[in-house]
Structure 1
Amino acid sequence: MSRVAVGTRRRRAPAKVNLGLRLVGVREDGYHLLESVFAPIGLADALEIEVSPGDPGIELEVVSAPSEALPVALRLPSDGGGENLVVRAARAFCRRRGWDARIRIRLEKRIPVGAGLGGGSSDAAAVLTGLASILDGSEMKSGRVSEELHELALSLGADVPFFLYGSPARVGGIGDEVEPLSGLAALDLVLVNPGIALATPEVYRVADVLRGALTDPGAGSTMRAISRLCGETGDLASALGDLLVNDLEPAARRLCPPVGRLANRLSELGSIGVALSGSGATVFGVFESAERAGRAAEALRAPDSGAAWVCVTRIIAAG
């Protein structure tokens, strides 16, 4: 039975970086088991979700944010690129709730696609929470995620559940295990991408070939060490810099050599820690201050730097 509900919700859909990503196993169905700390950042897409009277259907409009200049390879087509994750999220929500609705979604893109920053997954999570708010008539409390939304999110993609929580989290399994973290500092970051989109399945395939055998689960102690640092005093930024390890980075460097060159350049510019985010090709550097991050970004915007996209941002410490 469908339920009549109308309304409009606006959502920010933040990108994320991985403060380390270890591969600790493979399930029988081929999905990799991982252990990582996901951290939302200030860079975000913007969505307007409108449910109105009329014939049921889902309409998606994609526009580029006026202030953003994304390389062509990192842009989402204006039609969403076919069966877009945003449309899939809306359809899955309506199917689960038995809801026939006329839905219009306007997506303003700032996050590059195929860049290891989780933009599509974040957009999908924003659609789920927005539609739930319209149908239920109330906003979800920060950090409190229903089992229904978590399951829906996981059905859409391994990274989607994390974005429901709105805070840094220790993520395990295939992405279904999300443990929110408190006390993580709002670290200053510079993100840089060579203007090349990497396909996640291909990065994992090459990673398996290069590694031969996956990390023993004991290697996850790196991620647990990061978690333990949250909320403690001391030079957290430097400690994190020493712990940034992404098991997908060698594969990303093999598929996209500019990744390695940009990572080296971030180190030369004073970053206290450099790592690949997700499956790439975005790399990020942690800096001791916003001022130092800004100076590094300015250098990376030089025509001969090899960077096609540069962004200065911060970790969102809490939702």
Structure 2
Amino acid sequence: MTLPPLADIVARAHVVALPLTTRFRGVDVREALLIDGPEGWTEFSPFTEYDDAEAATWLAAALDFGWHPQPAPVRTEIPVNATMPAVPASAVADVLARFDGCRTTKVKVAERGQTLADDVARVRAVRTAMGPEGRIRLDANGAWNVDEAEHAIHALAAFDLEYVEQPCATVDELAEVRRRVKYMGIPIAADESVRKAADPLAVARAGAADLLVIKAQPLGGVRRALDLVAEAGLPAVVSSALDTSIGLSMGLALAGALPSLDYDCGLGTASLLAADVVADPLRPRSGTLPVGRVEPDAALLARHAAPAPRRDWWLARLERCHALLTARE
């Protein structure tokens, strides 16, 4: 991919800071750099703690989405799941109310400072709210060791789990957990072991997961993610990284272009934002989202513009990541 000049990107860039409805991943405000590309709006929003080498891959995705036509979709709507942060059980119903019509909920577990009892209470509350027909998947973000994962999955299996995402950090650990819990019939999904790995196909080769959780930005764009899924030969769930509606449209383009889509996708996270940059945010309606590009509202861009020091921080990061991509070429 030929990179657009840095000056052209900067001239098209807008840095925004959006408040969250619920603290998530340790933050209360989500920052993002949005770009008005020739093919449409795009987003560069790696989390602030990521180093430049990792963030540069997110920039490659943003530039591909903003400067090049995307693969043709094979579906026009994407079923999506609700996302349950590590909130107290008493707050579960209020969170679910933001996800209209979603039949699946991904529940965050293994939160630092919480206990397995907290997880059990949260998952029980989700099951009660959704009823027996609802689907529940867990996401531990690699926080358990193998023994902790086996114990926790056993404790939570009574709530009829669809799958458990990234119970442990390493590929070897995932493979061992998968072996230990196979008798329960609970699939294991890999997320960080794909998007943050030097070799994203190692999970598939090791037989360490039953399915992949993929995100467009961290994998370098829609085309690159599609190639990865095809080579891995495993079912895929498309998820988001707490994007604005601009970034979610990239994830929807990926989900729309997958040859098969067997699971609800984690692209409903705009419901966790207290504000967005588009007049009609990409929040679930009857449990689905439409495939297609969206454009921000000028007044909302201005209202949620990041303070000058944060804009400068993001532009400096953009410059460093652009230099890394240039060197890779």
TM-score (norm 1): 0.27
Name the structure with the higher strand share.
Answer: 1
Name the structure with the higher helix share.
Answer: 2
